[in-house]
Chain A
Amino acid sequence: MVSEAFRGWRAGDGVVDPAGHTMAAEEVAGAETDVLAPPTDPEVCVGFRAFGVRYGDFEALKEVQLDIRRGHITAFMGPSGCGKSTLLRSINRMNDTIPSARFTGQVYLDGEPIYVPGVNIIRLRKRVGMVFQKPNPFPASIFENVAWGARVHGLYKGHALFEHVEKCLARAGLWDEVKDKLKLNAMSLSGGQQQRLCIARALAVEPEILLMDEPCSALDPIATYRIEELMRSLVPDYTVIIVTHNIQQAARVSDYCAFFWVDENRCGRLVESGPTAQLFEAPKDERTERYLAGRMG
């Protein structure tokens, strides 16, 4: 299994990329032998093992070794270009849509590797939902936005589907505001409402993990507050992973934090990670301390 995990994968088609293979093998050979071992702790939901991403010749991220705990909120922090979004999008393999993307190392989801041939990406994305930086509801009705994903996976039909949509909208704290206008175009909602609709849409396929890529950066403070409240209400039912530029936001909402930095080659690196309180009060690395103090980044 470990040798499998050494391989790099070309986006989408699951064909072994020889170049990626060579690079990964060289790189990891010098490291400890168990660097690619799957997480053994059942509380670990997502495990990155010597994980790296490159776009063509550009190395965006490398040697990420990180465990993400089930039922908690984990925040990825760091300056622009430190690879935190790339890492987030690796969990549901959204980076596969970029043809030049190559991957090394491995990501484990509930102990199962996801960068191996034969992984069903559609089922993976059903388990790992995603909310984007800018609210991006479909140009369709509010109902259809939530129902579509459930329909794609054949989860519910008829009246059960309606009840499911209601449940998801209620979970996202939007039901009371939209219950009388489910047939209205989703574009008629405000930005904050659209983002909550996108969360309802993600919940509609019944995921275990919710990835949020700077979900509040396009919203005003009140809408941001509502999304943050909503995030807190989603744990421990869901595992939430959020990318944020906002140090205060990470401090407010997250249970665990991972701090990233860019090295001299503009390649993203994981600097340190741990419980949020610990990371904020007693950062181990000087860069973390300076970043959190607002003196850098």
Chain B
Amino acid sequence: MRYETVRRVTNVASLAFCGLLAATAVLPLVLVLYHVVRNGASALNLDFFTKLPVPIGESGGGMANALVGSLLLIGAASLVGVPVGVIAGFFLARQLSGRFAFWVRFAADVLSGVPSIVVGVVAYELIVVPMKGFSALSGALALALIMIPTVVRTTEEMVKLVPYTLYEAALAVGAPEWRATVFVFLRGARAGIITGIMLAMARIAGETAPLLFTAFNNQFWSVSLTQPISSLPVQIFNYAMSPYDEWHRLAWAACLVLVVLVLGMSVITRMVTRGKYEIIQ
């Protein structure tokens, strides 16, 4: 064979190999979506969104309480996690050196690696035990702890990407340092920070382990922070473990809703922040 033919064949073979592996990487997502949609779509109806769970033996019923419970938990967790995470990330980005910044950064990295069930146990110890009962509050705090490191590190990275010359420009027109910081860095990193927050929210939306012994579960309607609360992941866990076909169907439906919720968040984030990175020259 001529040398050029060898080159061409090698090229095609390599490309095919890379394409195959790339397809393999996407395969799990396709499988998940396929099974969730196939099993979940048939069980999904209006009742799922509007009705409460019914006792075993009765047909019908829905997961209105779990859906609202999940949203409430995510909202409450964000209320704590987002301000703490964003401000800490801002601090790290503007405080590049220094012992304290080093330890904060290190702690955030370690925290992001702590298994979520461990976070749940800690929340149990800190809140459930003193309050003498499971509560939405303890669940939200456990989720907030999981959220914080992600928000901290993305905020830090995004703020660092804002060119320092913009900050100098703001100072040069005579802005006080705080005003220059807020205007330049917050504005410049806004899109990236929002992405980080949305990804963190999407992540905690599916967390089950830390909720098992904090928010626990609730078969009834509850929006109280001091009472146990139902959530989609925990409800899926309970229903999927049960021996009843009716509950299995509902679990699949809940899976579909959860996946759509998380995917929706990612897609919306992409759409909102598209083309917003142009300041990074």
A residues in contact (CB < 8 Å) with B: 92, 94, 97, 122-126, 129-130, 132, 134, 136-140, 148-149, 152-153, 185, 187, 198, 201-202, 204-205
CB of B62 within 8 Å of the partner chain: no
Interface string of B258-281 (1 = CB under 8 A from A): 000000000000000000001100
- Within B143-200, which residues are at the interface with A (CB < 8 Å)? 163, 165-166, 168-176, 179, 183-184, 187-188
| Given contact pairs A138-B183, A140-B187, A152-B179, A202 touches B278 in the complex (Cβ within 8 A) | no
B189: nearest residue on chain A (CB-CB)?
Answer: A139
Interface contact A201-B278, CB-CB below 8 Å = no
With A132-B165, A138-B183, A187-B279 known as contacts, the answer to whether A125 contacts B172 (CB < 8 A) is yes
Given the interface contacts A136-B163, A187-B279, does A122 sit within 8 Å of B176 by beta carbon? yes
* Consensus secondary structure, chain B interface: helix
Known: A122-B176, A148-B183, A152-B179. A132 touches B168 (CB 8 A): yes
Which single member of A123, A130, A139, A187 contacts B172 (CB below 8 Å)?
A130
Give, as a whole number of angstroms, the nearest-CB distance from A189 to chain B: 12
**21 interchain pairs, CB-CB under 8 A:** A94-B168, A94-B171, A97-B171, A122-B176, A125-B172, A126-B174, A130-B169, A130-B172, A136-B165, A138-B166, A138-B169, A138-B170, A138-B183, A138-B187, A148-B170, A149-B175, A152-B174, A152-B179, A198-B169, A201-B173, A204-B173
Q: Contact: B172 with A152, CB < 8 Å?
A: no
Assess the A129–B173 pair: CB atoms within 8 A: yes
**Which residue of B has the minimal Cβ distance to A188?**
B278
Given contacts A204-B173, A205-B174, contact A138 B278 (CB under 8 A): no
The residue on B at minimum CB distance from A126 is B174
Known: A125-B171, A132-B169, A187-B279. 16 other contacts (CB 8 A): A122-B175, A122-B176, A125-B174, A126-B173, A129-B173, A134-B165, A136-B163, A138-B170, A138-B183, A139-B188, A139-B279, A148-B173, A148-B183, A152-B179, A201-B169, A201-B173
CA gap between A97 and B187 in the complex, in Å: 21
Q: Report A-chain residues with C-beta under 8 Å of the C-beta of B165.
A: 132, 134, 136
In the bound complex, CA of A130 to CA of B172 (Å): 6
**Interfacial chain B residues near A198, Cβ < 8 Å:** 169
Are A139 and B278 also in contact (CB < 8 A) when A94-B168, A132-B168, A152-B179 are? yes
Contacts of B172 in A (CB 8 A): 92, 94, 125, 129-130, 132, 202
Please indicate the chain A residues that have their CB under 8 angstroms from the CB of B175 in the complex.
122, 148-149, 152
A-side contacts of B279, CB under 8 Å: 139, 187
Provide the bound-state CA to CA distance between A134 and B165, in Å: 8
In angstroms, Cα B174 to Cα A137, docked, is: 15
Does B169 lie within 8 Å of A205, measured CB to CB?
no
Give the residues in chain B near A148, CB-CB below 8 Å: 170, 173, 175, 183
Nearest neighbor of B276 in chain A, beta-carbon distance? A139
Q: Which residue of A lies closest to B163 (CB)?
A: A136
A125 near B169 with CB under 8 A, answer: no
A139 — which chain B residues lie within 8 A by C-beta?
A: 166, 187-188, 278-279
Determine the residue in chain A with the shortest Cβ distance to B170: A138
User: With a CB–CB cut-off of 8 A, which chain B residues contact A152?
Assistant: 173-176, 179
| CB under 8 Å from chain A, chain B span 89-125 | none
Kindly state the separation between the CA atoms of A137 and B165 in the bound complex, as whole angstroms.
9
> Which residues of A are found within 8 Å of B187, using beta-carbon distances?
138-140
Q: Are B174 and A153 in contact (CB under 8 A)?
A: yes
**Residues of chain B lying within 8 A (CB to CB) of residue A140:** 187
Bound form: Cα–Cα A3–B176 in Å: 29
Residues in A neighbouring B188, C-beta threshold 8 A: 139
Residues in B with CB closer than 8 Å to A126 are 173-174
The CA-CA distance from A198 to B169 in the complex, in Å, is: 9
Inter-subunit contact B174/A149 (CB<8 Å) = yes
How distant is A205 from chain B, measured CB to nearest CB, in Å?
5
Q: How far is the CB of A51 from chain B (nearest CB, A)?
A: 20
Cα–Cα distance between A129 and B173 once the two chains are bound (Å):
6
Alpha-carbon separation in the docked complex, A134 to B163 (Å): 11
